[in-house]
Every structure is written in C-alpha cells, then in structure tokens.
Amino acid sequence: MTLKFSVRDTGIGMSPDQMRLLFQPFSQVDSSSTRKFTGTGLGLAISKHLVGMMGGELWVESEPGKGSEFFFTAIFGLGHLMPAPRNAQMEDLSGLRILVVDDSPIARLILHGLATGLGYPTTMVATAEEAFAELQRAPFDLVLLDWHLAHEDGFEAARRIQTELGVHAIPRIIIVTAYGDEEVARRVEEEKLDGYLTKPISPSSLFDAITHAFGRKTPVQRAPARLATAAEDLGRLKGARILLVEDNDFNQQVAMELLALVGMEVTLAVDGRDALEKAHSEPFDAVLMDLQMPVMDGYEATRLLRDEARFATLPILAMTAHAMLPERERCLALGMNDYVTKPINPDELFGTLARWIQREETAPGTPPPLPPPPQAAGTGVPPGPEGLSREAGLAAFSGNVALYEKMLGRFLELKLEAAQEIREALAQGEAETASRHAHSMIAVAGTIGAVQLSGLSRDLQNAIQDGPPEAIPPLLARFEAALAAVVTELKEQLGRG
C-alpha cells in the first residue's frame, strides 16, 4: 500500500528557484535564513534519502510569504494480524510520582527532565540507600532504577524494595540500562519487575514503558528471536570481497572470523587512510567502515570515497557502537548505505550485507551452513562466570562454541591493560584517545558476553566526552574493577591462571 503524507507550515515560504536547491545537503533558501532559523538544510536531504529507500518520493509546494507544504509517499506492507486490544483497566496515570535512581549526574538529570516533561512529579537520588530512604519517607508510584549503581546491582536494589517495604508501599519498578539485551529481559521477567528501558531514552520510549508498566496484567514478554538470514542471501554472500576497516585488534578478528563463516573474502584496513589505499588497489563488493579510528576516521574516508565517481555505487556500511539518531543521520548524509551495530549480531551483519551486495550465487545448491548451535552442557564452553553471559556471547558467534572459546582467549591476550591505557591517556590530557579506548571496549566486552563491562564502557566514554570531570574517576574505578573480575574468571575458566 502506498500512503501519502503532508506537513504544512505558515513560515517564510520559497520561490521556485529556492525550491530547486532545497533537497541538497547543507542548503538553505539563503544565508540569512540559516542565521535566523539556525538550520543547515541537512535534514531534508536525509529525509529525501530515507523516503527513497522506502520506495517513495518527497516534494514541496510553496509561495513566498505564504508558507510551505511538504509531501512524501512511502510503500508499506499489509498486516495480517489484528492489533492487541488496549487494556480497559489501564490505571489513571495523571499525577504519577516517579523516583529516579542513577549514580550518573548526567543520566539523572536527563531522566528527571524527561519525566517532568511528561507532567509527572519526579524526585532523583544517586544511590540505592537514598532511594530506600525516600521510599520510606513518602510513597512513589514508579521507580526508574539504573542497573549498574555504584555500590549495588539494580536488580538487588529492586529485590530489597519489593521485600522490605510494606506491601501497600511497593512501587512499580523499571530497570534502566545502557545495554538492553535478552539477558536484561530475562532477569526482568524472573524478578517480576515492570519492564526495562535502554539508554539513550526518548520521551516516547519512557511514556511507552510507563503505560506498559501500569496497563499490563501479564508478565513481561521477551522479544522474539531474530529470524535467521535467508539461505539464498547467505549463498549470494559466498565469495563476496569485503573491505573491513577497523582499528581495534579484537574487533578485527571477530569480524574476519564471522565473515569467513559464510565464505566471504576479507581484506583488512586499519584506518581510513589505509582503506583508501586498499580501495584504489583492488575491487570490493562492499566496505564495512568503523567510524572512530585514529589517522583518518570513517566519516572522512567515506567522504573521500564518495568524491570519486568510480566509488559512487560501492556499498559502504558503517559499524558503530553508538547507533543513535545523530550518528545515523551523519552516516546517511555522507553517502553511507546502511549501518551495523556493535557488538556485532551475525544475523544483522549477514542480512545487511545481503541487502546491498547484488551477486549471483557462485554455485548452485545449498549455501555454506552456519555453525551448529551451542552444544549441551559438558560438550562445549562451561557455563559462564558471574559477569559473563554465555548466551549473549555465543549469540555473537552464531552459536559456534569453538570460536567463542577462541575469542575468550584472545580477550585475555589483548585487553588486560585496557583500564591502564585509558588512565594513562587521561593523565596525559588525551581525552580523545581515552574516549576511543573506552568506545572500543563497548563492542569488545559485549561480544564475549561481558554485559556489565560493556555498559560501564559506554558510561565511561560518555563521561569522558560530555560529563563533568568529577564523574570520570568513579566510573573508571568501576570499569577497572569489572574488567579485573572478568579477567580473573576467564583465567580460571580457561586454565590460564
């Protein structure tokens, strides 16, 4: 079904000559309007690109001084399931009293602003002890509880709230996490909590979580598993030539091992400048481009590639641990085709590559099979230690136990000094280097299933980039402790004491 949308304004309007320039990146009707209205013209170029990807068109009708009306069409599939009815017993949420519990000053303020912006009276505290004191002092309807608090796990704090407060004072509890995955959903369900939110949080995601928490009468439903990449898509990937642009040694090996699983041929470039040299020396079917790299980052490398006509149609896919809207917009505006989030999900990686690589199968018949699923207990990796999610780690390697165990060993070889590297960079005033080290650990830790360490890596990078200086030392100490715990357990598990 093709749907048509329109948005009308009563602004300054445009002449026909101005409208012809409107959908070009970094264009405004004139320079004075840029200064007056603070726009760059980038949003419309991105919108046109997105609408085109949905099989539609974007255009405008306007007159100077009379405003403008923008139109776009998009093609949608038809649903076959009836929507679930809303719960008629939804409680009245006006006047809802919310308690925000987060040891990050920035995260606390963001959550407080979002909740008050929705009209809810909100109190914020930094620790589980402060939260417990507030709950004993006054009733709250809902607690937004960070998973990784300084001195207590968020799930443990939730358990205390549920068991130690009077039965009439128990609020609804939503866990807030920087790393939402199946492990979080499983624990929320097991602990009989009321949902979870993954950072970065938007007003709409917070509102949806609140209405779900107060409207549902059934346990939290786990997200359905992703569908496996179609066999014909995997067959088309066999023999594809991939330029992998990645500076992190651990991430390099993970990506190369996964791509090799389905028969792709991989050439490695360690930074953007190296990628340009490799791209000029041999043909590739697609480029997997990391964004944050020394020497030349992925943004600049993509811009330079797109400046050359011969690379105009080369699929360039961003690889990023921060797939937030501004970064996605920047990638699309530079001419990237798509993006893959880190830590890499094999099905997402293969599915995204299959969308952009148009090749005939190299041979008829069944495509190369993915590795077998995890073996029963006693035949593969033993159950992961506390701090490691075996399920999450194996998922990152399509259930290949041998490959997972191999990469656990590589983690020990390559990442023992990660905290020290960040500490030294900060001491030398090299905040960008420290931020890059923390950024790389988001994917590295997430790939092996060290969920808590991955979340702390993200929090640490955010603090280095945007937080007050005093927020960095405690986060770095928590990161260092979590890394040490993972290393200790891995040494014991792998017999490398």
- Answer for the pair 352, 317: CB distance below 8 angstroms, yes or no: yes
Per-residue model confidence (pLDDT) at position 427: 93
Q: According to the model, what pLDDT value does residue 201 have?
A: 85
Residue range(s) of every CATH 3.40.50.2300 domain in the chain: 98-215, 234-356
Query: Which structure tokens are listed for 471?
Result: 């927020």
Task: For residue 18, give the H/E element and its range.
Answer: helix 16-20
Query: What span, in angstroms and rounded, lies between the C-alpha atoms of 192 and 169?
Result: 16
Tokens representing residue 187 in the block: 């624990």
Within the chain, which residues score under 70 in pLDDT? Answer: 25-42, 81-92, 94, 166-169, 179-181, 216-233, 322-327, 359-386, 497
Give ranges for CATH 3.30.565.10 in the chain.
Answer: 2-75
CA distance 199 to 323: 11
Please tell me the distance from the alpha carbon of residue 349 to that of residue 257, in angstroms, as a whole number: 12
Burial track 458-485 (b if 16+ CB lie within 10 A, e otherwise): bbbbbbbeebeeebbeebbebbbebbeb
Alpha carbons 140 and 122: distance in angstroms, whole number: 9
Compute the mean pLDDT over every residue in the chain, rounded to the nearest whole number: 80
Question: Which residues, 6 or more positions from 151, have their beta carbon under 8 angstroms from its beta carbon?
Answer: 127, 128, 129
Superfamily of domain covering 98-215: Response regulator (3.40.50.2300)
- Classified as helix, coil or strand, 159 is helix
Distance CA 177, CA 184 (A): 8
pLDDT at 311: 93
Sheet holding 196-198, edge to edge: 122-125, 98-101, 142-146, 172-177, 196-198
The confidence score (pLDDT) of residue 271 equals 95
Evaluate whether 245 touches 384 at the Cβ level (below 8 Å).
no
Residues 301 and 272: beta-carbon distance below 8 Å: yes
Asked if 143 and 122 count as a contact pair (C-beta separation under 8 A), the reply is no
Beta strands in 204-313 (DSSP E): 241-245, 265-269, 286-290
Give the pLDDT score at 180.
61
How far apart are alpha carbons 200 and 111 in whole angstroms? 10
Q: What is the CATH number of domain 234-356?
A: 3.40.50.2300
- Is 390-494 a domain of CATH 1.20.120? yes
Neighbours of 72 (CB within 10 A): 20
CATH superfamily for 2-75 is Histidine kinase-like ATPase, C-terminal domain (3.30.565.10)
The single-letter DSSP state of residue 11 is S
Map residue 298 onto helix, strand or coil. Answer: helix
Q: Do residues 273 and 301 make contact, with C-beta atoms less than 8 angstroms apart?
A: yes
Burial of 163 (0-12, 13-18, 19+ CB in 10 A): exposed
306-344 burial: b if 16+ Cβ within 10 Å, else e: eeeeebeebbbbbbbbbeeeebbbbbbbbbbbbbbbbbb
pTM over the 0.75 mark: no
Residue limits of CATH 1.20.120 in the chain? 390-494
Contacts of 375 (CB under 8 A, 6+ apart): 401
